[in-house]
Amino acid sequence: MVQESKKTIIAFFLICLGLTLFPFLIGGYWLRVATGIMMFATITLALNFIAGFAGYAAFGNVVFMGIGAYTTAILMVKAGIPWWIGIVAGGLLSSLYAVLLGLPILRLRGHYFAIATLGVNEATKQFTLIYRDLTEGGMGITLPLTSLSISAFNNLVYFIMFAILLACFLTSYVVSKNRVGYALRAIRANEDAAQMSGIRTTYYKVLAWALSAFFTGLVGGLYAYWFTFIEPANVFDIMIAVKAFVMMLLGGGGTVLGPVLGAAVLELISELVWGEFLRVHMLIFGAIIVLVILFLPSGMMELFRKRYSLSALLSNLKERSI
């Protein structure tokens, strides 16, 4: 199964080692940033299953983060269930949601699927606002504080996030190398031909979305535990989904490393800009998006592979104009 070169495997283990030691070397602010980067990397990797591999633009994927967050919060607050069970339940419930909704919605193509997922996100958010008895509506849910010290808690969250990221990354890798990955890629390339070649497209699409939902749900649950306060506006926030999309495009959709790279780069830039230029943060973010789309439509992985020069990027741009 593992065909990568020795160098790649060694590099992978070194990076994992580095990441494991990280909290003990650097704490505080940068630890929080690193956790945030890993969070987005996971969300982007999860999005990659359905949008990168299968080519279905699930713009509303953040809905699973919301479901994961609320499941965890409700279980912890109303049923006294331990946090880690809450998080797993969040992931599983999100998957179920994806399977149930996926059957009708994954029949839609292109723009229509994208809009449907947006609609699902909005509708779910509205339900959360309205069904107050369960979810506290617009007031949000406050989760119990941990009994651990602050630094121990931050370390714990970091490691759990790391674990989730690792699981998602490895799942991504396995999928990319086995028949599921090929099926999804074929679906993205030409869905009708894929069907005619014997691929049960509905099954694979639902599987991709369920995987995507599972990891996004886990992240949502951990987010709730981490921040101890959630409300519909911040866990069903469409900006998270859009950010993930841009990260995926930036890094390269359909690859395994791309989403991680894109997330890391964009989140770092985001942190630095937010730190220095709070007022124009979103403006710069918007401008970055525009530039990425225009010049790097296939993402950074493509850039590394083909080593474009500036003039090549410009002529590429002209070629793509109508």
Partner 1 sequence: MIIQVLVNGIILGSLYAVVALGFSLVWGVMDVINIVHGTMIVMGAYIAFLLFQTINLDPFLSIPVAAFVLFFFGFYLQRYLVNFVVRAGVFISLILTFGMDQVVINLLLVIFTGDYRSVTTSYAGSNFEIGGVVIPYVRLAIFLISILLTVALYLYTTRTKIGNAIRATALNRDAARICGVNVPRIYGITMGISAALAGACGCMYATLQTFTPFDGGYLIGKAFVICVLGGLGTVMGAIVGGIALGVAETLGATLFDPRAQEIFGFIILVLVLIFRPKGIMGTK
Partner 2 sequence: MLLIQGKKLSKHFGGLPAVDQVDFGVERGEILGLIGPNGAGKTTLVNVITGVFPATSGQVFFKGEDITNLSPPKAVKLGIARTFQIVQPFPGMTVRENVAIGALFGKGSHEKDIKTAFQDAERWLEFVNLGQYKNAEVNEINISHRKRMDLAKTLAMEPELLMLDEVMAGLNTKDIEEMMALVQQINRELDKTLLVIEHVMKALMGISHRVMVLHHGQKIAEEIPEKIVQDENVIKAYLGERYAKQRAKTA
To the nearest whole angstrom, how small is the minimum distance from the Cβ of residue 297 to partner 1? 6
To the nearest whole angstrom, how small is the minimum distance from the Cβ of residue 50 to partner 2? 18
CA atoms within 13 A on the CB side of 275: 9
Give the span between the Cα atoms of 208 and 184, in whole angstroms.
Answer: 8
Contact between 123 and partner 1 by CB under 8 A: the answer reads yes
Is 259 within 8 Å of 156 (Cβ atoms)?
A: no
Nearer to partner 1, 10 or 123 (CB): 123
To the nearest whole angstrom, how small is the minimum distance from the Cβ of residue 114 to partner 1? 6
The mark string for 196-235 relative to partner 2 (x by CB under 8 A, - otherwise) is xxxxxx----------------------------------
Contact between 190 and partner 2 by CB under 8 A: the answer reads yes
6 binds, among partner 1, partner 2, none (CB under 5 to 8 A by kind): none
Among 148, 179, 282, 293, binds partner 2 (CB under 8 A): 179
Among 69, 93, 114, 186, binds partner 1 (CB under 8 A): 114
To the nearest whole angstrom, how small is the minimum distance from the Cβ of residue 184 to partner 2? 11
The mark string for 223-262 relative to partner 1 (x by CB under 8 A, - otherwise) is ---------------x---x--xx--x-------------
Nearer to partner 2, 132 or 200 (CB): 200
Contact between 103 and partner 2 by CB under 8 A: the answer reads no
- In the complex, the residues that contact partner 2 under the rule CB under 8 A are 177-179, 182-183, 185-186, 189-190, 192-201
Q: Rule CB under 8 A: which residues touch partner 1?
A: 51, 57, 59, 104-105, 107-108, 110-112, 114-116, 118-120, 122-123, 126-127, 129-130, 238, 242, 245-246, 249, 279-280, 282-283, 285-290, 293-294, 297, 317, 320-322
